């Protein structure tokens, strides 16, 4: 029989959650839900309990998951350290499975996918396979922090001062499938958080897997923020080149940032912005470069030179966005921005947080599994079948 039920409110970094705390009376002995379902018998942690804490670990801090579990069960069942271990171990397990799948694709499909070096990006009827590629960095933990200290997420540095640190970078790709949906891709990791397979190799294998029956060069169109490491990775897919588009919204953001440092006042900023945005929207980079070199009276010559270099560097990726928009085709990587925020940003990018490579990438791998609709199959393969 149920002995009592209480509503418990849990406030977290992502909002407020309501839970019911239940205690049971069975044969005169008080027990909780996990006792009744034998999830902690003989000191073992059931798959169900591990799945529960892993799921909420991508929504709450580890300490909050520990508190949540205690409020639900009425007992302290798992420490934040143990929950961290569960997440890391599962991510490594998933990574080994991904590694095996990639090896099987290589063995089964020997031929390489042919990628079209150019695609008619303005033709409304031309077929495209969209690919979005982005990376997101989180603050890296100090090397001398202990594992337990690493779990006190959200606390500022002891010095209270901002210190320059390296970042833990996780690259995420969204690849369009033949059905029109998108699959999240990221590199599998070992138990140190280091990649087992380069992301470009995973992209190649997934292209072979999805498009092996296509007997024509694949019309890949990659939309990125223009980062050099991303461009380098995508160019490895095809030695003859690949169609790249510089994300319109990122281009606008960059231009605004530069103009705020270059122009002398708000009036000049507005005047220059009108001309530059109008011509960039139509892909007229030569007019933009001429204007920057001759028409702007600057307060920071160095930043103007940087802007000219930026436009020149990405000139081949700055397209006629107006024509592409008229063709009802994608001009920005908003889907990708939302994707990396979903995979990493919402959970890991908060003031005071710092991460090890394993800690950050483990959460990302489990979130990718969830976003791809493979969560239940990953945790309960027999039930999913």
pLDDT in tens, 198-228: 999 999 999 999 998 888 899 999 999 999 9
Run of H or E residues at 307: helix 301-313
Q: How confident is the model at residue 23 (pLDDT cuts 50, 70, 90)?
A: low
- Tokens representing 127 are 């077929």
Query: What integer is the mean pLDDT of 235-246?
Result: 91
Query: What integer is the mean pLDDT of 151-158?
Result: 40
Burial class (CB in 10 A: 0-12, 13-18, 19+), 192: exposed
Query: What integer is the mean pLDDT of 310-314?
Result: 97
How confident is the model over 127-151, as pLDDT tens digits? 999 999 998 899 998 876 544 444 4
Q: Report whether pLDDT(181) > 70.
A: yes
Q: Report whether pLDDT(30) > 80.
A: no
Return d(Cα 286, Cα 323) in angstroms, integer: 18
Residues 6+ apart with CB under 8 A from 67: 10
Query: What integer is the mean pLDDT of 249-267?
Result: 95
Q: Report whether pLDDT(171) > 60.
A: yes
So what's the pLDDT on residue 215? 81
So what's the pLDDT on residue 37? 59
Q: How confident is the model at residue 68 (pLDDT cuts 50, 70, 90)?
A: very high
So what's the pLDDT on residue 6? 61
Query: What integer is the mean pLDDT of 364-370?
Result: 96
So what's the pLDDT on residue 41? 46
So what's the pLDDT on residue 4? 58
So what's the pLDDT on residue 338? 83
How confident is the model over 342-351, as pLDDT tens digits? 888 889 988 8
Give the neighbor-by-neighbor strand order of the sheet with 182-185: 182-185, 167-176, 129-139, 220-224, 243-246
Going by their DSSP bridges, the two strands 167-176 and 15-26 should be labelled as: unpaired
So what's the pLDDT on residue 212? 87
Sign for the pseudo-dihedral over CA of 63, 67, 68, 73: positive
DSSP state of 316: G
Q: Is 40 helix (H, G, I), strand (E, B) or coil?
A: coil
Which residue in 60, 340, 360, 355 sits closest to 189, CA to CA? 360
Q: Percentage of the chain surpassing pLDDT 90?
A: 67
Q: How confident is the model at residue 18 (pLDDT cuts 50, 70, 90)?
A: low
Going by their DSSP bridges, the two strands 182-185 and 29-31 should be labelled as: unpaired
Run of H or E residues at 130: strand 129-139
So what's the pLDDT on residue 156? 39
Which residue in 184, 164, 167, 187 sits closest to 175, CA to CA? 184
So what's the pLDDT on residue 151? 42
Run of H or E residues at 269: helix 266-281
Long-range contacts, stretch 151-159, CB < 8 angstroms, 24+ apart: 151/62, 151/63, 151/80, 151/81, 151/84, 152/63, 153/61, 153/62, 153/63, 153/350, 153/352, 153/353, 154/13, 154/61, 154/350, 154/351, 154/352, 154/353, 155/352, 156/351, 156/352, 157/352
DSSP string, 149-210: HHTSTTPPPTT-S-----EEEEEEEEEE-TTS-EEEE---B-TTS-BSS-HHHHHHHHHHHH
So what's the pLDDT on residue 223? 96
Return d(Cα 65, Cα 61) in angstroms, integer: 6
Q: Report whether pLDDT(292) > 80.
A: yes
Which residue in 346, 328, 329, 350 sits closest to 337, CA to CA? 346
Q: Report whether pLDDT(90) > 60.
A: yes
Mean pLDDT of the chain: 87
Q: Percentage of the chain surpassing pLDDT 70?
A: 82
Measured CA to CA in angstroms, residue 79 lies from 28, 83, 126, 258, 264 at distances of 29, 6, 55, 48, 56
Q: Report whether pLDDT(274) > 50.
A: yes
Query: What integer is the mean pLDDT of 39-61?
Result: 82
Q: Report whether pLDDT(369) > 70.
A: yes
Q: Report whether pLDDT(39) > 60.
A: no
Return d(Cα 186, Cα 195) in angstroms, integer: 9
Q: Report whether pLDDT(325) > 90.
A: yes
pTM to 2 decimals? 0.82
How confident is the model over 194-204, as pLDDT tens digits? 999 999 999 99
How big is the chain by its Cα radius of gyration, in Å?
25
Q: Counting runs of H as helices and runs of E as strands, what totals does the chain give?
A: 17, 8
Q: How confident is the model at residue 335 (pLDDT cuts 50, 70, 90)?
A: confident
Q: Report whether pLDDT(1) > 90.
A: no
So what's the pLDDT on residue 5? 60
């Amino acid at each position: 029989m149920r002995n009592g039920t209480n509503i418990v409110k849990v406030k977290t970094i992502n909002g407020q959650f309501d839970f019911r705390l239940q205690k049971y009376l069975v044969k005169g002995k008080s027990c909780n839900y996990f006792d009744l379902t034998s999830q902690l018998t003989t000191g073992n942690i059931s798959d169900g309990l591990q799945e529960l804490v892993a799921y909420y670990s991508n929504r709450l801090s580890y300490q909050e998951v520990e508190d949540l579990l205690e409020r639900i069960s009425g007992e302290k069942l798992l420490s934040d350290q143990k929950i961290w271990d569960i997440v890391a171990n599962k991510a490594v397990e998933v990574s080994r499975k991904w590694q095996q799948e990639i090896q099987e694709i290589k063995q089964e499909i020997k031929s390489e996918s042919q990628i079209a070096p150019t695609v008619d990006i303005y033709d409304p009827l031309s077929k495209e396979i969209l690919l979005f590629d982005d990376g997101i960095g989180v603050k890296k933990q100090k090397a001398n922090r202990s594992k337990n200290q690493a779990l006190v997420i959200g606390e500022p540095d002891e010095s209270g001062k901002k210190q320059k640190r390296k970042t833990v970078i996780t690259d995420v790709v969204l690849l369009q499938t033949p059905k029109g949906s998108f699959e999240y891709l990221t590199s599998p990791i070992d138990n140190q958080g280091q990649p087992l397979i380069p992301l470009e190799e995973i992209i190649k294998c997934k292209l072979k897997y999805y498009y092996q029956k296509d007997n024509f060069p694949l019309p890949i169109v990659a939309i990125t923020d223009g980062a050099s490491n991303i461009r380098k990775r995508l160019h490895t897919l095809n030695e003859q080149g690949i169609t790249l588009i510089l994300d319109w919204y990122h281009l606008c953001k960059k231009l605004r940032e530069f103009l705020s440092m270059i122009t002398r006042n708000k009036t000049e900023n507005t005047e220059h912005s009108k001309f530059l945005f109008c011509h960039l929207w139509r892909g007229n980079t030569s007019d933009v470069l001429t204007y920057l070199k001759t028409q702007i009276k600057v307060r920071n010559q160095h930043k103007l030179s940087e802007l000219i270099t930026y436009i020149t560097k990405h000139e081949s990726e700055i397209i006629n966005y107006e024509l592409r928009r008229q063709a009802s085709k994608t001009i920005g990587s908003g889907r990708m921005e939302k994707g990396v925020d979903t995979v990493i940003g919402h959970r890991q990018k908060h003031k005071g947080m710092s991460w090890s490579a394993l800690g950050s990438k483990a959460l990302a791998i489990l979130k990718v599994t969830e976003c791809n609709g493979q969560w239940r199959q990953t945790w309960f393969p027999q039930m999913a079948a």
